[in-house]
Structure 1
Amino acid sequence: MNIQETLLYIRKKKDLPQRKLLKYVDSSVYSKIESGRKNLTFSELIEILTNLSIPLDEFSKYFDNNSIGKTMRALLEDYKITPNDLVIKEQIITYFNQLYFSRNMLLEELSDYIVIKTLFSNQWKEIPHVSAKELAEIFILLKEKKYYFHYDYAILSNTIYLFNDDQIEILLTKTFPVKDMKYRNAATKEFITNLICNLITTFIRKQEYEKCHDYIELAKKERNNYDLPFKIMLTFLENMIAYVQRRDSKSKEELEGAINFLNSVEEHELANALQSELENVLATNKEPTIILRNHFNKQY
């Protein structure tokens, strides 16, 4: 559905007359909006949604703005459910082959490009790894920005583990503390969550535990802005650091307890990611498990 069709759909579901939605104009004006004969201004949309009692972010989930990124997110959702489906694999590869890397490409497309590479380059021979040239271009792109929005965090969360220590320090000074947190939606916050988790596990692998503790403290400053899974991941990472340093039984029990709790509340995807991350950290010859809750979240 497009925006106009979505407005009609929701109005019908709520059984409201057109005159109730734009109160200070003739009902024919609203009729023209629904039929596509009048352009819809943002202020009109906000007034209509207020009268429909539906927030903008919820409304946006009902319509398809023909974004190719929406197609990609649908494919990733299907992949999560049936990862061995060869048709879905072929569709993802086909979409990937339509993308041509450039610093000037749409950030949504660049985010998809990077997601596909980080998720599938170790699984599918058709998908290459992120190249050194691409990584250098991404670093310049992110370094030059004065303010990060949704897709900036998406790209950084998927590449943070690939940068060298000096590059990480430069990018983190631009990233944290997160500006205007009150305006960030849940999807963006999840990208920031992924960024913190992938950052910390990168330095666990490098056995640079002092930096791990520094980034844990940095993350704690943000914890009140995030959901319960983020707080569980943060505690999980603290215990992982303690366990890889000392191999104490208490930390191992805490790690297993966090995974069991997530499974008990049916956060199986996150539980599996943390289980894989723990196993991979302990077997240092393996590639990292990049925590990507958000890529299977239809909000973003």
Structure 2
Amino acid sequence: MKKIGQTLRLLRQSKGLSQREVAEGVMDFSYYNRVENDKVNISFSKLLLLLENFDISIEEFMFLNENNNKKDLRTLIADAYYLGNIQTLLKLEKLCIKQFEESDKILFRHSFILCRLLFARRNNEKLEQRYIDEIVDYLNSLSYYTRNDVRMLSDFYDILPTEMVFFLFEQMCIGKKKHSIADLSGFDMLVFHFNVIDLAIKHEKYSLAKKILEETKKEFFNPLNLLAVTICNYYDGLFLILFGNDAEQGTKLAEETIVVLESCKLKYQAQRHKEFLEEIKAKVQPI
């Protein structure tokens, strides 16, 4: 069996239990402490007893342990969707429901709604309005934004009221209000910038899209940030197509970006950018 200590620790912490509470009736507290630190092994029968204290099945535990230390829940959901692994997506959805019911942590609720959104997209349907309203109400209630809020905006930006997304972007990224820079990782903010550029282009707000791209370059563009450089080149290519300056060169720039993303094993990002490029090429008229 793969190392299980960190998975046990995360489960215990999510349920607000102490090591003594988990170990009670199963093993000595000091031994359990060593189990969590992957210093000793335990038998399968002991593991089953521990999982009873967590109220989680062995199947759920093995699923979590297989993916622990690799990707977070949100990334697992996105991977399952883009790789077409519907059974995994269903498992993740059920896990989100269970974790939210037990912990009342809003992150699990939003992860569940993300699963609902991805199922709707797969079936060419719209997400139920009640879920959209729930996200809108949550965002309107905030006086301070965290990393998870930015990630949530990146997940739902294209189904939320457009002007609301632009307003939040202005507050968070241009005005730099209502958050501490330390709370928001560069990667999450970078992705949010690119998502809002997408949104602006889709709504033909080209001047706004170009303004955000310039802000993105000022904030994130340096030779060591391969993702920022690569995707900025992609949008430079889109603007060459959109403004009729050089559609051939623009297409080349965008396609080179997609190749780089694929070579970096960012398959679903590559697919998303490929689809968006085709949308632009199909509908664009010289401006």
TM-score, scaled relative to structure 2:
0.61
Given that 2:107 and 2:148 are in contact with CA atoms closer than 8 Å, whether structure 1 keeps it comes out as yes
Given that 1:111 and 1:151 are in contact with CA atoms closer than 8 Å, whether structure 2 keeps it comes out as no
Q: Distance in 2 between matches of 1:281 and 1:100?
A: 39
Deviation readout 1:146-168 (Å, 9 max, x if unpaired)? 32112211211122222334312
Given that 2:190 and 2:220 are in contact with CA atoms closer than 8 Å, whether structure 1 keeps it comes out as no
Written as runs of structure 1 = structure 2, the 5 A alignment for 1:128-277 is 129-177=126-174, 179-182=179-182, 184=184, 188-224=185-221, 227-246=225-244, 248=246, 249-277=248-276
Q: CA deviation at 1:240?
A: 0.8
* SS of the residue 2:145 aligns to: coil
Given that 1:4 and 1:36 are in contact with CA atoms closer than 8 Å, whether structure 2 keeps it comes out as no
Tell me the amino acid that sits aligned with residue 120 of structure 1: F
Given that 2:100 and 2:106 are in contact with CA atoms closer than 8 Å, whether structure 1 keeps it comes out as no
Q: CA deviation at 1:243?
A: 0.8
Aligned-residue sequence identity (percent) comes to: 15
Written as runs of structure 1 = structure 2, the 5 A alignment for 1:86-125 is 87-92=87-92, 94-95=94-95, 106-124=105-123
Tell me the amino acid that sits aligned with residue 175 of structure 1: M
Q: Distance in 2 between matches of 1:97 and 1:176?
A: 32
Which structure carries more relative contact order (alpha carbon 8 Å, separation 6+)? 1
| Residues 93/182 of structure 1: CA separation in 2 closer, same or farther (3 Å cut) | closer
Deviation readout 1:8-52 (Å, 9 max, x if unpaired)? xxxxxxxxxxxxxxxxxxxxxxx9766449xxxxxxxxxxxxxxx
Query: Which residue of structure 1 lines up, in the alignment, with residue 58 of structure 2?
Result: none
Q: CA deviation at 1:210?
A: 1.0
* SS of the residue 1:122 aligns to: helix
Q: Distance in 2 between matches of 1:169 and 1:79?
A: 27
Tell me the amino acid that sits aligned with residue 272 of structure 1: Q
Q: CA deviation at 1:197?
A: 1.7
| Residues 247/275 of structure 1: CA separation in 2 closer, same or farther (3 Å cut) | farther
Tell me the amino acid that sits aligned with residue 244 of structure 1: L
Q: Distance in 1 between matches of 2:113 and 2:273?
A: 21
| Residues 281/94 of structure 1: CA separation in 2 closer, same or farther (3 Å cut) | farther
**Number of paired residues?**
226
Query: Which residue of structure 1 lines up, in the alignment, with residue 42 of structure 2?
Result: none
Q: Distance in 2 between matches of 1:71 and 1:91?
A: 12
Given that 1:107 and 1:151 are in contact with CA atoms closer than 8 Å, whether structure 2 keeps it comes out as no
| Residues 99/243 of structure 1: CA separation in 2 closer, same or farther (3 Å cut) | farther
Q: CA deviation at 1:144?
A: 3.0
* SS of the residue 1:130 aligns to: coil
| Residues 211/88 of structure 1: CA separation in 2 closer, same or farther (3 Å cut) | same
Tell me the amino acid that sits aligned with residue 91 of structure 1: K
Q: CA deviation at 1:5?
A: 7.3
Deviation readout 1:182-220 (Å, 9 max, x if unpaired)? 454xxx443323322221112212222111112212322
Given that 2:79 and 2:268 are in contact with CA atoms closer than 8 Å, whether structure 1 keeps it comes out as no
Q: Distance in 2 between matches of 1:209 and 1:108?
A: 33
TM-score, scaled relative to structure 1:
0.59
Structure 2 alignment gaps of length 5 or more: 10-27, 35-63
* SS of the residue 1:271 aligns to: helix
Q: Distance in 1 between matches of 2:109 and 2:136?
A: 13
Give me the CA root mean square deviation. 4.1
